[in-house]
Amino acid sequence: NTLGNTPTDGDLVAWDRDHHLHPWAGTGGFGSDEYMRVNTADGIYLWDAAGKRYIDGPGGMWCTQIGYGRQEMADTISQQVMKMPYASPWSFTTEPAAVLARMIAERTPGDLNTVHFTTGGSTAVDTALRTALFMNKRLGRPEKRIVIGREKGYHGSTFLAATVTGKERFETSFEKAQDLVHFLPDVNPYHRPEGMSVDAWCDAKVADLENLIADVGADRIAAFIAEPILCSGGVIVPPPGYHKRTLEICRANDILYISDEVVTGFGRLGHWFASEDVFGIVPDIITCAKGLTSGYLPLGACIISDTVMKRIAEAPGDDVFYNGYTYSGHPVSCAAAIKNIEIMEREDILGHVQCVTPHFQDRLHQIKEKFSIVGDVRGDGLLGCIECRPGLNVESYEAHVKFGQKLDDACEEMGLLLRPFGNMAVFSPPLIITPSQIDEMFDIMEAGMAQVS
């Protein structure tokens, strides 16, 4: 019996390997003991079991906005646990849930005022899609149920969220909800044909959407789901004007526009939400999670516009939106989110991100100038990606696709964690990172680049 015994390092390695199946475990790595065991964390740093310090380049998983080790967060969480640790959202509401719903509604663009709480990003996406399908059922047009996703888009791991995820590996491993999704091709301006302007690329990408709608039929399409920046796809920033034009097309065809702000929400680009403040659009539905609690506790939200809510409510007949989770509006998670927002506001973290973004992006772009193996660097706010150029100075295709891992390994040695994606490495550090810590991070990255070049 393990209970009550202090485990040794060896025990932990063995128990994790033998009993803990991690997300996205390669079948060759089932039972892997390769996961770094992290023990403590403070600010933008974390320490492994051997006491070695690392900069948290990925920001946990794009989520540790206010940084680690906040006593106020611990106090708030423990006080809420003692006061009211759980209440069924079917029967009750709690002060934290009501206050947080209001706080989110105050920070969303336009008439996005109704918050359905979820357990994370995937369930927020699932809820958004079900809202679109439910609306059309209520409106007496159940055949308007297809969702348009995009290649390289990532929306999560529930059946529906994975169905609209357009990453190649999701195609191979799982069944998807059949006949529910159509994908638009890659929007990455880096992949435009040689000689084509970014504006012409934007026209082509907008035309992709128009053509797909013409092919499938607007009367069969319920929603378009898009991340403002495709983060897990490699921090792909679509060409300027793309979001506004795609939104206009959706509106003209009565297709709901779902903006998946699970990564871009809560300050990553220096605003509560990127949809309106960065890209100038007011979507019909926004999904968020991650930065909502800075990763201190799990929580997500699907935020629905008054217009959509009204259409659902005013359709003839009565029905029930059978969607929700045991932990919807969990009072402890909501209390953590309220405190997280309070801290972000008190410390003007949005202003801070806007202020340090030019330096962060400048250091990122210097990497492209300094290292010829780099094909592209891109990002916005405190989001960045380095993509290795195919073929050049790289011995083989194998080396090219492992660029991200090699750079991550080299940087890890020197105390910086990154997130490798094939021939790319991405990073999204905690939003409290200071200019000198940004330099510390990029100095290590450049030393790592020198090793892998």
Binding residues (CB under 6 A) for ligand PLP: these are: 120-122, 125, 154-157, 227, 231-232, 260, 262-263, 289
Residue in the shown chain whose Cβ atom is closest to ligand PLP:
121
Token readout for 335 is 């209390």
Token readout for 69 is 């080790």
Cα distances from 190 to residues 238, 338, 388, in angstroms, run 10, 39, 12
Residue 389 in 3-state DSSP? coil
DSSP string, 411-437: HHHTTEE-EEETTEEEE---TT--HHH
Which residues are CB-contacts of 125 (< 8 A; sequence separation ≥ 6)? 155, 156, 158, 160, 161, 164, 225, 258, 260, 262, 287, 302
Torsion of CA 21, 62, 390, 199, to 10 degrees: 140
Residue 99 CB neighbour total at 10 angstroms: 15
Tokens 């080790």 map to which residue? Answer: 69
Compute the distance between CA of residue 397 and CA of residue 391 in angstroms, rounded to an integer: 7
Compute the distance between CA of residue 57 and CA of residue 55 in angstroms, rounded to an integer: 6
Please report how close the Cβ of residue 155 comes to ligand PLP at its closest, in angstroms: 5
Please report how close the Cβ of residue 78 comes to ligand PLP at its closest, in angstroms: 24
Strand 424-427 with 300-305, pairing: unpaired
Please report how close the Cβ of residue 147 comes to ligand PLP at its closest, in angstroms: 14
